[in-house]
Amino acid sequence: MAIVDEMVCFALYSASRATTRAYTELLSPWQLTYTQYLVLVVLWNEGSKPVREIGEMLQLDSGTLSPLLRRLENKEFIRRERSETDTRVVNVELTEQGSALRKELAHIPEQIACGTGLPDIQSAREYLDTLHQITEQMQKLPIKIQPTN
């Protein structure tokens, strides 16, 4: 066993890469990336949202989110429109085609869930709670740069 196999950070990294790779394969017939899929999931479940809120929910900066939204708009899955009351706000909404895609991709969450190997929904919820707790704790962690002597 390699030393990295005993590191929590490497286990999380490896699990994340394997999961993203599975999504990539499942989404390839629709030429969607994992992150584009996440934007669609947010819109399917939350409805129209300002770009800023989508970025916050998915922890994406505007430099990553803007080109991603442009590609989804070019595929005619979403539409971006400036707010009439505040032109600084850009709202994102699904098109008819984007809404219809939800049914086509409905099988993906179940396939991913089966791929985790977790035995039941309760185990999945406990694992999800643990991951959320790790994320929250790591985001609170003060990063201190140690000078080298």
Q: Residue 20 phi/psi, 5° resolution?
A: -60, -40
Q: Is residue 47, in this structure, part of any structural domain at all? A: yes
Q: Is residue 106, in this structure, part of any structural domain at all? A: no
Q: Is residue 86, in this structure, part of any structural domain at all? A: yes
Q: Is residue 121, in this structure, part of any structural domain at all? A: no
CB atoms near residue 79 (< 10 Å): 14
Q: Report the CATH number that the domain containing residue 67 is assigned in CATH.
A: 1.10.10.10
Q: Is residue 92, in this structure, part of any structural domain at all? A: yes
The predicted-structure confidence for 3-62, as pLDDT tens digits, reads as follows: 998 899 999 999 999 999 999 999 999 999 999 999 999 999 999 999 999 999 999 998
The predicted-structure confidence for 70-101, as pLDDT tens digits, reads as follows: 999 999 999 999 988 988 999 999 999 999 99
Q: Is residue 119, in this structure, part of any structural domain at all? A: no
Query: What radius of gyration do the chain's Cα atoms show?
Result: 18
Closest CA to 72 of 86, 60, 87: 60
pLDDT tier, 145 (very low <50, low <70, confident <90, very high otherwise) = confident
Question: Domain span at residue 76?
Answer: 35-99
Query: How do strand 78-82 and strand 49-50 relate by DSSP bridges?
Result: unpaired
Q: Is residue 25, in this structure, part of any structural domain at all? A: no
Count structural domains, the chain.
Answer: 1
Q: Is residue 126, in this structure, part of any structural domain at all? A: no
One-letter amino acid for residue 48 of the chain: S
Q: Which token pair is 126?
A: 């406990």
* pTM recorded for the entire structure: 0.87
H-helix segments, the chain: 8-27, 34-46, 51-58, 62-74, 96-104, 108-116, 121-140
Handedness of CA 94, 95, 100, 104 (dihedral sign): negative
**Across residues 138-143, what is the average pLDDT?**
85
